[in-house]
Amino acid sequence: MPSIKKNILMIFLFAGVLMCNLPANAQIPDDIILSLKSGNAKSLSEFFNQNVELVVPNSDNVYSKAQAQLIVGNFFSSHSPQSFSVIHQGGKEGAQYVIGSLGTQKGTFRVYFLLKKSDGKNYIHQLRIEKQE
């Protein structure tokens, strides 16, 4: 009987060690999700890196933070968001990605963004908003 208790204790100890090794930054900032749901390009751009690889209908290039804000703002103006949901997210320490679905008045779009951590803050390095067929 003592060996069963010892084995159970070892399992819990091992599980605790594994849980402590999970990256602390696994949570996507709520403000990014809220910005996508509400179509708020200004608040979303607060998470943009100085240069952002941006793919939206009619735009596909690397843009400055200010240019990307304008382009995303124009997209939200012509495609008013009605909903956003996270389909999948993953990554490793220092870099994460999110795949989501953006419902608009003009259809559904697949959203992908890549976050990288720098100086303790997450920055969007890549944002793709593509029409879902």
pTM, to two decimals = 0.78
Is 109 a domain residue? yes
Structure tokens at 98: 């999110």
CB burial string 1-23: b at 16+ within 10 A, e below? eeeeeeeeeeeeeeeeeeeeeee
Specify whether the CB–CB gap between 65 and 52 falls below 8 A: yes
Provide the residue range defining the domain that includes 31.
26-131
What pLDDT shows up at residue 133? 77
Instruction: Please count the residues of the chain.
Output: 133
**Is the residue at 21 inside a domain?**
no
The number of domains in the chain is 1
Q: Looking at residue 23, what DSSP letter applies?
A: -
The CATH number of the domain holding residue 52 is 3.10.450.50
Instruction: Give per-residue pLDDT as tens, 38-76.
Output: 999 999 999 999 999 999 999 999 999 999 999 999 999
State the pLDDT at residue 86. 95
Decide if 124 contacts 51 (C-beta within 8 A).
no
For 85-133, how does the pLDDT look when each residue is reduced to its tens digit (9 = 90+)? 999 999 888 899 999 999 999 999 999 999 998 888 899 999 999 998 7
104, part of any domain = yes
Q: Is residue 48 one of the residues assigned to a domain? A: yes
Domain-located, residue 17: no
Whether 97 is covered by a domain: the verdict is yes
- Is residue 4 very low, low, confident or very high in pLDDT (cuts 50, 70, 90)? low
Could you give the dihedral angle defined by the CA atoms of residues 71, 74, 79 and 84, in that order, rounded to the nearest 10 degrees? 50
Reported as type and span, the H/E element at residue 108 is: strand 107-118
The total of other beta-carbon atoms located within 10 Å of residue 30's CB is: 8
